[in-house]
Amino acid sequence: MQGRNGILQLVLLLGLELGLEGALPPPCDSQIYCTGELLRRVQMAKLYQDDKHFVDMPLSMSPDQVLKDFNELLSSNEGYVSREQLKSFVTEHFKDPGQEMDTWIPQDWRDSPKFLQNIVDPKLRAWAEDLHKLWKKLGRKMKAEVGSQPDRYSLIYAAQPFIVPGGRFIEFYYWDSFWVIEGLLLSEMPQTVKGMLQNFLDIVDRYGHIPNGGRVYYLQRSQPPLLTLMMGRYLERTNDIDFVRDNIGTLHQELEFWRHNRSVNISHKGANYTLNRYHVPYGGPRPESYSKDEELAALLPEEDARESLWAELKAGAESGWDFSSRWFIGSNYLLDIKTSQVIPVDLNAFLCQAEGLLASFYSILGNMPMAKIYQDAQAQRKVAMQALLWNETLGSWFDFNLESSQQNHGFYPTNLSPLWAGCFSDPAIAIKNIKYLEDNKILTYKHGIPTSLQISGQQWDFPNAWAPLQDLVVQGLAESNSTRAQDMAFQLAQNWIWTNFAVYQKNKAMYEKYDINIDSGEPGGGGEYEVQEGFGWTNGVALKFLNRYGDRLTSGSGSMMFSTSCLLLALLLLGLLC
Ligand SMILES: *[C@@H]1O[C@H](CO)[C@@H](O)[C@H](O)[C@H]1NC(C)=O
Ligand SMILES: *[C@@H]1O[C@H](CO)[C@@H](O)[C@H](O)[C@H]1NC(C)=O
Ligand SMILES: *[C@@H]1O[C@H](CO)[C@@H](O)[C@H](O)[C@H]1NC(C)=O
Ligand SMILES: *[C@@H]1O[C@H](CO)[C@@H](O)[C@H](O)[C@H]1NC(C)=O
Ligand SMILES: *[C@@H]1O[C@H](CO)[C@@H](O)[C@H](O)[C@H]1NC(C)=O
C-alpha cells in the first residue's frame, strides 16, 4: 500500500513539475448548472427575478434523474414546455437556494479587539464595534451533504467555515476575501482567516485555480489574484511559517495558472514583454446572468460574434469590474466590451506583489532556486510595466490597449495600484501620482474616489465608489515617503469614512458600493442587480481606515465635512505654492 501511494505521489509530483494540467477537471461541464437545455429553458422563461436564483438551487435527486425527467418532459410535449410546466418541474426537482449553508459564529470572535481602543471619536468607535459584530452575521458553514453529494449542488464544497460578502452573494468570492481578511485580522480572528485560506488552497489543489466565487458555474473564470497576498497578510500577523511551508506549492500552482492561461506577449517598439490580462476563452452565456447575456447577444447577427461577446463578458466578470466602460473599446456600450484586449494595471500590480511575496516565502524556507525564479519574474514584470503602462508626462500608470498599442488615459483608481502594491517605491513616483490626482480633480469628489469619470450606467463607473478602490489609492499614498501624499491619503480616507458612516447612521447598513454624487452619500446603483447590503469588503476597508487613522478621523457632519475639506484643500494648495 505504502509503496503504491509513494509511486502515485511521485507521479502526481512529476505531473505538476511538467505542468501537465490534463489531470484537472474541465471548468464545469454540469448539464444543469453550466450548460444545456434545462438551464436555457428555465433562464429564458425568467422564472425568477434574478437568474442567479435558479443556478443556486440544490437538486432534490441525482442529476441523472433530473436530466432524464426533463428529457421525458421535452419529448412528451414535442419540445414544447410551458412556463407553468417548467415551474412545476423546477419545484419538483429542486430545493430553494441558501439551505446548503448554516450561519456560523466565528469561534475566534471576541469583544473588544485592541484596535478599537485607538479610535478617538466616540461615535466612530461605537460604529467600529458594530462593524466588528457584523462578522457574526456574515459567517457561514456548509452542511456536510454538500461534501458527500457534491453533484446535487452548484456550491463548491469548502470544509472550513468562512465569511461571505452578504446580500445576493451567499457564497464566498475570491477578491472580496482579501479585504474581508484584512478586516478579520484587525478583529484578531486569525483562525477564521486560516480556514478561509485553507478553503482557497484546497480549491487550487482540486481545480488548478480559484474561481470567481464558490459555485461551479464560476469555474471558467477567476477573479483578481490575491491569494498569495492574503497569505502574506496572515503571515505578517501570525508568523505561521509552517502553514506557508505546507502550502507554498499550491500558491506557486495558482500563479502558474495566471502565467500559463492569462499572459500575453507584446512586441512594442522593438522589444518583447510579457504581462497579464483577464481572458476567459469560453463562449456561452454566464449561467447566473443567462437571460441578460442572451438578450444582449441577440443584437448581434453572427454566432461567432455572440460567442466572443460572451467570452469578453466573462473576462469582464473575471476582472471584478463587471461591468465598466474601462473594458469598452470604441464606445460606452456593453456590446463593445473587449476585456481581453486590455492589459490592466491592477492585475499586473497584484501579480507583481504576489511574485515578490513568493520570492520572499521561498527564501525564508531556504529554496533559493525558486526564490530566484520569482525575483526574476517580478523584475521582468516591472520592466514591462514601466515600458507599457507608465506615463511620465501624466505621472501615472494606465491600462494598455492591445488593439491600438496605446494607453487608455481615462481615470481609474486602479491606475495608482502599483504604488499600493509596493512595486515602485521611488518617492518621486508618489509625488507624480498626487499631481495626477490633482490634475484629475479627484479631491473635489467629497464622498469618495469615483470608479471612473465616465457615466455609462454600469456599476463600475461614475458615480459609484467602491471600498477596495479607496484602499488601492489610500494605502499606496499613505505608505509612500512623501508627506504631501500621506496628507492626501488621510483626506481621502476621511471622506470615505464620512460617507460610510453617514449612510450607516441613516440605514443601519453597510453596502457594496456608494453613490458619491449625492450629497449625503447613498448606496450605489446601476448594473445588473440591486445594490447589496452586508458587506464584507466595505466593512474590511472601513476597519482598515479606522485602524490606520483612529487618532485623527472624525465622525463629522455635513457642514463640518465641508469646512474641514476646505481647510485641508487650502493647506494642500499652500503646500503646492511653497
Ligand atoms: C488552462 O490552460 C490549459 C491548457 O493550456 C487548459 O487545459 C485548462 O483548461 C485551462 N484552465 C482553465 C481554467 O481554463
Ligand atoms: C510568450 O513567449 C514565450 C517565449 O517565446 C512562449 O514560451 C510563450 O508560450 C508565449 N506566451 C503566449 C501567451 O503566447
Ligand atoms: C521578439 O519576438 C519576436 C517574435 O517572437 C522575435 O522575432 C523577435 O526577435 C523578438 N525580439 C527581441 C528583441 O527579442
Ligand atoms: C503619455 O501621455 C502623453 C499625453 O497624453 C502622450 O503624448 C504620450 O504618448 C504618452 N506616453 C506613453 C508612453 O504612452
Ligand atoms: C521611506 O523612508 C524610510 C526611512 O528613510 C525607508 O526605510 C523606506 O524604505 C522608505 N520607503 C519608501 C517607500 O521609499
Q: Determine whether the shortest distance from the Cβ of 523 to ligand 1 is under 6 A.
A: no
End-to-end CA distance of the chain: 77
Distance CA 57, CA 570 (A): 56
Question: Ligand 2 center to residue 348 CA distance, Å?
Answer: 17
E runs forming strands in 104-197: 139-142, 162-163
**Predicted pLDDT of residue 88:** 98
> CB of 438 within 8 A of CB of 428?
no
From the alpha carbon of 281, which atom of ligand 1 is closest?
14
Residue 380: which pLDDT band, with cuts at 50, 70 and 90? very high
For ligand 1, whether the C-beta of 263 sits within 6 Å is: no
In angstroms, the CA 154 to CA 134 distance is 26
pLDDT band with cut points at 50, 70 and 90 for residue 572? low
User: What mean pLDDT is predicted for residues 343-361?
Assistant: 98
- Locus of grid cell 476621511: 494
Cα–Cα dist 17/13, whole Å: 6
Name the residue of 391, 399, 406 to mutate for ligand 4: max ligand atoms within 8 A of Cβ. 391
Q: How far is the CA of 475 from the centre of ligand 5 (A)?
A: 15
406-408 and 101-103 beta bridge pairing: unpaired
Of 323-332, 509-518, 528-537, give the lowest mean pLDDT range. 528-537
Band (565; pLDDT cuts 50, 70, 90): low
CB 98: neighbour CB atoms within 10 A?
13
Q: Residue 562: its pLDDT value, please?
A: 46
Of the ranges 82-96, 163-177, 337-351, 476-490, which one carries the lowest mean pLDDT score?
Answer: 163-177
Nearest CA to ligand 2 atom 4: 265
pLDDT, mean of residues 399-412: 97
The predicted pLDDT at position 568 comes to 61
pLDDT digits (tens, 9 = 90+) for 407-464: 999 999 999 999 999 999 888 999 999 999 999 999 999 999 999 999 999 999 999 9
Q: Is the dihedral angle over the CA atoms 214, 216, 217, 223 positive or is it negative?
A: positive
Cα–Cα distance for residue pair 368/14, rounded to 1 Å = 20
pLDDT of residue 216: 97
The ligand that comes nearest to the alpha carbon of residue 428 is 5
Ligand 3 atom closest to residue 272's alpha carbon, by position in its atom list: 1
Return the residue whose CA atom lies nearest to atom 14 of ligand 5.
425
Ligand 4: atom nearest CA of 391 is 1
Average pLDDT over residues 32-38: 96
Query: Does residue 451 contact residue 466 with C-beta atoms inside 8 Å?
Result: yes
Mutation test of ligand 3: which of 269, 272, 274, 380 has the most ligand atoms closer than 8 Å to its C-beta? 272
| 56: DSSP letter | T
Which atom, in ligand 1's list, is nearest to the CA of 219?
Answer: 13
Higher pLDDT among residues 572 and 118, named by residue: 118
Instruction: Provide the residue count of the chain.
Output: 578
pLDDT band at 77 (very low <50, low <70, confident <90, very high): confident
Question: What's the chain's average pLDDT?
Answer: 92
pLDDT-derived band at 17 (thresholds 50, 70, 90) equals very low
What CA–CA distance (Å, rounded) separates 471 from 469? 5
Share of the chain above pLDDT 70, in %: 91
Q: Is the pLDDT of residue 558 over 70?
A: no
How far is 203 from 211, CA to CA, in rounded Å?
8
Q: What is the pLDDT of residues 200-212, one digit of tens each?
A: 999 999 999 999 9
**Ligand 5: which residue has its CA nearest to atom 11?**
481
CB atoms under 10 Å from CB of 358, counted, come to: 26
- What pLDDT score does 2 carry? 36
Of 4-8, 275-279, 415-419, 478-482, the poorest mean pLDDT is in 4-8
Of 156-170, 216-230, 291-305, the least confident: 156-170
Atom of ligand 5 at shortest range from CA of 481: 1
Check pLDDT > 50 for residue 3: no
Residue 120 three-state SS: coil
User: Given this model, what pLDDT does residue 28 score?
Assistant: 86
Q: How far is CA 81 from CA 35, 72, 111, 148, in A?
A: 18, 11, 55, 33
* pLDDT at residue 501 is higher than 50: yes
- Give the Å distance between the CA of 269 and the centre of ligand 3: 11
With a Cβ cut-off of 6 Å, ligand 5 is lined by 425, 427, 480-481
Closest CA to 512 of 166, 148, 25, 82: 166
Cell numbers that stand for 59 in this block: 437538486
| Ligand 5 center from residue 480 Cα (angstroms) | 8
pLDDT in tens, 151-186: 999 999 999 999 998 877 888 899 999 999 999 999
What percent of the chain clears pLDDT 90, i.e. is strictly above it? 83
Q: Any idea which residues carry the catalytic annotation?
A: 322, 512
Report how far ligand 2's centroid is from the alpha carbon of 310 (Å).
25
Q: What is d(CA 169, CA 43) in angstroms, rounded to the nearest whole number? A: 19
> In angstroms, rounded to a whole number, what is the distance separating the alpha carbons of residues 390 and 383?
10
Q: Which of 260, 274, 279 has most ligand 2 atoms within 8 Å of its beta carbon, as the pocket-test mutant?
A: 274
Cβ 393 under 6 angstroms from ligand 4? yes
Q: Is 143 helix (H, G, I), strand (E, B) or coil?
A: coil
- Which string of DSSP letters, residue by residue, matches 488-551? HHHHHHHHHHHHHHHHHHHHS--BSEEETTSTT-EE---SSS---B--HHHHHHHHHHHHHTTT
Task: Compute the distance from residue 327 Cα to the ligand 4 centre, in Å.
Answer: 20
Average pLDDT estimate for 223-243: 98
CA of 22, nearest ligand number: 1
What pLDDT does 525 receive? 79
CA angle, residues 334, 340, 346, in degrees to nearest 5: 95
pLDDT tens profile 83-106 = 999 999 999 999 999 889 999 999
Lowest mean pLDDT among 173-182, 183-192, 389-398, 504-513: 504-513
CB within 8 Å of 275: residues ≥ 6 apart? 263, 264, 266, 343, 348, 381, 384, 385, 388, 389, 400
CA distances from 219 to 16, 65, 141, 173 (A): 20, 24, 21, 12
pLDDT at 19: 40
Q: Whose CA is nearest to atom 7 of ligand 5?
A: 481
Residue 574 confidence (pLDDT): 61
d(CA 161, CA 108): 12
Those residues with Cβ within 8 angstroms of residue 279's Cβ, 6 or more apart along the chain or in another chain: 261, 262, 264, 315, 318, 339, 340
Taking the CA of 393 as reference, the closest ligand is: 4
Nearest-CA residue for atom 6 of ligand 3: 272
Which one-letter DSSP state was computed for residue 334? Answer: G
Ligand nearest to the CA of 486: 5
Residue nearest to atom 10 of ligand 1 (CA): 261
Give the pLDDT confidence score for residue 29 in this predicted structure: 85
3-state SS, residue 573: helix
Q: How confident is the model at residue 14 (pLDDT cuts 50, 70, 90)?
A: very low
pLDDT of residue 577: 56
> From the centroid of its chain, how far is CA 441?
27
Nearest CA to ligand 4 atom 1: 391
352 alpha carbon to ligand 1 midpoint, in Å?
22
The ligand placed nearest to the CA atom of residue 265 is 2
Q: How many A from CA of 404 to the centre of ligand 3? A: 19
Query: When comparing pLDDT for 565 and 183, which is higher?
Result: 183
Q: pLDDT grade, residue 315 (50/70/90)?
A: very high
3-state secondary structure 411-478: CCHHHHHHHHCCCCCCHHHHHHHHHHHHHCCHHHCCCCCCCCCCECCCCCCECEEEHHHHHHHHHHHH
Residue 264 main-chain phi, psi, to 5 deg: -145, 140
- Distance (Å, whole) CA 209 – CA 256: 9
Strand 399-401 and strand 101-103: the pairing is unpaired
Q: Which residues line ligand 2 (CB under 6 A)?
A: 263-265, 274
Q: Whose CA is nearest to atom 1 of ligand 3?
A: 272
| Rounded Cα gap, residues 123 and 140, in angstroms | 29
CB-CB contact of 30 with 37 (8 Å): no
Q: Is 206 in the pocket of ligand 1 (CB under 6 A)?
A: no
Ligand number, closest to the Cα atom of 281: 1
- Distance between CA 36 and CA 30 in Å, rounded? 8
| Ligand 5 centroid – CA 388 distance (Å) | 26
Distances from the Cα of 379 to the Cα of 382, 387, 390, angstroms: 5, 12, 15
Question: Quick one: pLDDT band at residue 569, thresholds 50, 70, 90?
Answer: low
Asked if residue 27 has its Cβ within 6 Å of ligand 1, the reply is: yes
CA of 261 to the centre of ligand 1 (A): 6
